Structure 1
Amino acid sequence: MKLSTFCILCCLSTGLSQAAVYVWSGAAGNGIYGDANNWTVNGTPNGYFPQSSRDEAIIGENAGTITWSPAQSYFGETSIVGIGSGSTLLCTTGTGTGDINVDLFKVEENAQLVFESSNALGLQRDFTMDFGVFTAEEHGSWIATNLANFWTNGRTVTFFGTLDMRKLSGSGTIELASLKSSQEGGNINLDLSNLQFVGNKKIQATAEQVTENDVTKVVISYEMIPEPATATLSLLGLGGLLLRRKRQ
């Protein structure tokens, strides 16, 4: 009997600790991340919003702007936050301070993750920005601007994603991140080694971290690779020009 009771308690404990997948419904109509009425689990509200280290938050497509603020909710210890195409997650502290404790942000095409505050916002852990498969025209972005104090704490942000270059031509740039904020507690580290480029052998692409006017950006630059025949003709033409000059 004791063993059975113990087993039941263990099962109940395990069930309660299970990760929940929260899906944004927006039913409350106020766009507030921390309002439990805006979330469903298995199709119905459960009186909570994502707030566990094992929770996953899914914001679907074209959900508008969803605002998180510590005055409204607890935005810590969330495992994954997904932001669908055409949606924006605005992380702001209002008049207070706040910390970001998320392992992974999934940012789909034309979606935005925005950090903006007149007060302090801090990164409490390393996290990953996953842009999935994207194109030059349709890609997500991470924007940190107007932060009075951005406590990056020397954290590392790892960028994942695959640029589909099949429709690319010519040359250009793609901006995945723009951080215009003071960085306290050590400069933020941006790991771009997991960004990939596929689908067009005639295009050469590189990802780099650049700083312009105190703005740190993650930029992908791409350009056409000259055709071998064109390159040969160019060399022949240059050789002919040099030979002509030498004769003169």
Structure 2
Amino acid sequence: MLGGISQAATYIWSGAANNGIYGDSGNWTVNGSPNGYYPQHSANDDAVIGQNAGTITWSNSEAFFGDTNTIQIGSGSTLVCSPAKGDLNVNSITLEGNAHLVFESTNAFGLGRDFTLNFGTFTASEHGSWTATDIANLWVNHHSVHFTGTLDMNSLTGSGTIELASIKSDQWDGPLTLDLSGLNIASTSQVQANVTQVTENGVTKVIINYETVPEPATFSLGILGLGGLLLRRRRK
């Protein structure tokens, strides 16, 4: 149902229509029942997609991604935004666990406003991702994407790279501005980590490089052990 304005509500994805279409009101419930709408009709609508919901598509049959406050995507679920035309008008999107947000369109696709991409608390093995590598033209409209989230350092071992975003598109109305200041990637004495934005072969990526380092106490014990070994050799 595309017409009309609903009251602000929290919409829960049920998938009851069995077609994976975001804009089908039969896939959403409000207070446990469908209300004939889906979360696109009020600036205060909130959408909640639970865990392992599969792939949900904002399809080519929809001309816009109307006003929505927040979209929450559970781990193991994917939201594919593939409109024939239109702007993304969402205040924030939360990617829990291994949730995925995908932008793809053979036509122009724009940002209707600044929006926040919230990765929550994530690890190297379980983190959300945003990919936008199959878009003919991304209308930036002088808007920015603000990244927020906290990297859990406790589970990090060795060294590696965490890729949070990968974007490739002709960008109109200026280059896409990615604000990474909201990512909490504070290094510790055991882990050195940093977040960076790089562009390679036309693909802009947001990545976190991390490396664990020996603890000073362990290093000192190693020196003491070597000193003792040298002392025993001298005595012999």
Using the TM superposition, give the Cα deviation of residue 38 of structure 1 relative to its aligned residue in structure 2, in angstroms.
0.3
Partner of residue 4, structure 1: none
Name stretches of at least 5 consecutive residues in structure 2 with no aligned partner: 224-236
Note if 1:113 corresponds to 2:101. yes
**Structure 1 gap segments, 5+ residues each:** 1-15, 235-248
- The superposition leaves residues 124-171 of structure 1 with CA deviations (integer Å, 9 ceiling, x where unpaired) of 100000010110000000000110111112211111101111121111
Mapping 1:118-137, distance limit 5 Å: 118-137=106-125
1:37 equivalent in structure 2: 26
- Aligned length, in residue pairs: 218
Instruction: Tell me the C-alpha RMSD between the 2 structures.
Output: 2.2
Q: Give distance in 1, aligned partners of 2:54 and 2:142.
A: 32
The answer for the alignment partner of 1:186 in structure 2 is 174
Matches of 1:231 and 1:182, distance apart in 2:
53
Q: Contact between 1:166 and 1:200, CA under 8 Å: does it hold in 2?
A: no
CA drift at 1:77: 0.8
- Name the CA distance, whole Å, in 2 between partners of 1:178 and 1:113: 11
Cα distance, 1:197 vs structure 2: 3.3
Provide the rounded CA distance (Å) in 2 between the counterparts of 1:97 and 1:142. 20
1:244 corresponds in structure 2 to none
Aligned counterpart, 1:246: none
Q: Under a length normalisation based on structure 2, what TM-score does the superposition of the two structures give?
A: 0.86
Q: TM-score, normalised by structure 1?
A: 0.82
1:215 match: 203
SS in 1 for 2:66: coil
**Matched-pair contact (CA < 8 Å) for 1:88–1:111:** yes
Distance 1:231 1:158 in 2: 42
Match of 1:176 in 2: 164
Greater C-alpha radius of gyration: 1
**For 1:79, which of 69, 77, 83 is the aligned residue?**
69
Deviates more, 1:223-232 or 1:49-58: 223-232
Give, in whole Å, the separation in 2 of the partners of 1:177 and 1:54.
Answer: 27
Is the 8 Å Cα contact of residues 34 and 73 (structure 1) preserved in structure 2?
A: no
